[in-house]
Amino acid sequence: MATPTHLLKDELDIVIPTIRNLDFLEMWRPFLQPYHLIIVQDGDPTKTIKVPEGFDYELYNRNDINRMLGPRSNCISFKDSACRCFGYMVSKKKYIFTIDDDCFVAQDPSGKLVNALEQHIKNLLCPSTPFFFNTLYDPFREGADFVRGYPFSLREGVPTAVSHGLWLNIPDYDAPTQLVKPLERNTRYVDAVLTIPKGTLFPMCGMNLAFDRDLIGPAMYFGLMGDGQPIGRYDDMWAGWCIKVICDHLGLGVKTGLPYIYHSKASNPFVNLRKEYKGIFWQEEIIPFFQAAVLPKDCTTVQACYIELSKQVKDKLGKVDPYFDKLADAMVTWIEAWDELNPSGPGAKIAK
């Protein structure tokens, strides 16, 4: 294997939520070892998590979260991978790559190992094209360009805030689909990256995700999930709906497609159904809410957009269930905590 290039190694943190030893990092060593890791330990804070030798990391457990955020720590989920967003908050780097501990290095159709992080960085460093769809997908990839009929006035593109990767083997299905298709595996490797068009929502998955913390960090809140909450497994999707509305408003791009990781372990569909049950009903009202959400022109920072969105969540979704009043309050608490730890940092800048 050729020696991988380690782009942006001083400008990027890797955030991993976990409840177990991080043996999976051995496979990722050639690609990830030069980068700084932020490990967010969920569950029992007295348990010792082992990290393979040679990795540079900082580890935070629930006691650390409570100590650092005080009363605001209640906005960080417990016993749910949504706790990963604490890592986004404490990072001081421009870029974040987050990955789950059951995600291994994938192979492309030629058998070559996929350097997922390198592809995410390429996605983030190239512009997005949310205002007009290019039928050759990403025009900035080698061997592609803007097709005939693509407006020249839009060819400059916009900054890319989010790169959303995909998964081979175990697909990211909801519990009902898991139950109906227990043996289904994804073997399709689609060699494409595309910008999600403006006005189009998508189900964001947090297990293979990268983003520009300066551009969108304060909106990457994974909500209230897990212990003591009536819902789970909607953390990343909630964040995805929020960031998409805000990216559309601020003129930023979101890409999906490459890179792939190999998702090794299927979660229990019966456990998942318990977590998702209310969300399956609620999403039929949540999604129209986000589709109709409009942010005022004077919302020019991510924080201002997010606070405005929290007000609309309380006003519109609070009627669906009292949980959304609580979630709207937590969204405000999250921004307060973010600003306290990042007093003049990401998201505080006026969007150009």
Total residue count of the chain as it appears in this document: 352
In 3D, which of 83, 94, 131 has the Cα closest to residue 9? 94
pLDDT digits (tens, 9 = 90+) for 59-91: 999 999 999 999 999 999 999 999 999 999 999
Read off the pLDDT of each residue in 262-275 and give the average, rounded to a whole number.
Answer: 95
Per-residue pLDDT, 32: 98
Strand partners, 263: 103, 169
Per-residue pLDDT, 129: 98
Q: Where are the alpha helices (DSSP H) in the chain?
A: 25-32, 62-69, 85-90, 116-125, 175-180, 213-216, 235-250, 269-292, 302-316, 323-341
Q: What is the mean pLDDT of the chain?
A: 96
Per-residue pLDDT, 4: 75
Half-sphere exposure of 125 (CA within 13 A, CB side): 11
Read off the pLDDT of each residue in 218-224 and give the average, rounded to a whole number.
Answer: 98
Per-residue pLDDT, 352: 37
The answer to whether the beta carbons of residues 216 and 323 sit under 8 Å apart is no
CATH class, domain 12-341, is alpha beta
The answer to whether the beta carbons of residues 206 and 227 sit under 8 Å apart is no
Residue 246 pLDDT > 50, yes or no? yes
pLDDT digits (tens, 9 = 90+) for 159-179: 999 999 999 999 999 999 999
* Burial of residue 195, with CB atoms counted within 10 A of its CB: 0-12 exposed, 13-18 middle, 19 or more buried: buried
* Secondary structure class of 219 (helix, strand, coil): helix
pLDDT digits (tens, 9 = 90+) for 190-211: 999 999 999 999 999 999 999 9
Can you give the residue ranges of every domain in the chain? 12-341
The answer to whether the beta carbons of residues 259 and 213 sit under 8 Å apart is no
Per-residue pLDDT, 266: 87
The answer to whether the beta carbons of residues 147 and 134 sit under 8 Å apart is yes
- Model pTM? 0.96
Q: What is the DSSP letter of 107?
A: B
Instruction: Report residue 106's pLDDT band, with 50, 70 and 90 as the boundaries.
Output: very high
Residue 349 pLDDT > 50, yes or no? no
Residue 347 pLDDT > 70, yes or no? no
Residue 346: asked if its preceding bond is cis (omega within 30°), the reply is: no
Cα angle 107, 146, 191 (rounded to 5 degrees) comes to: 10
Per-residue pLDDT, 181: 97
Q: Of all residues in the chain, what percent carry a pLDDT higher than 70?
A: 97
pLDDT digits (tens, 9 = 90+) for 284-334: 999 999 999 999 999 999 999 999 999 999 999 999 999 999 999 999 999
Stronger pLDDT, 347 or 324, i.e. the higher one: 324
Instruction: Report residue 41's pLDDT band, with 50, 70 and 90 as the boundaries.
Output: very high
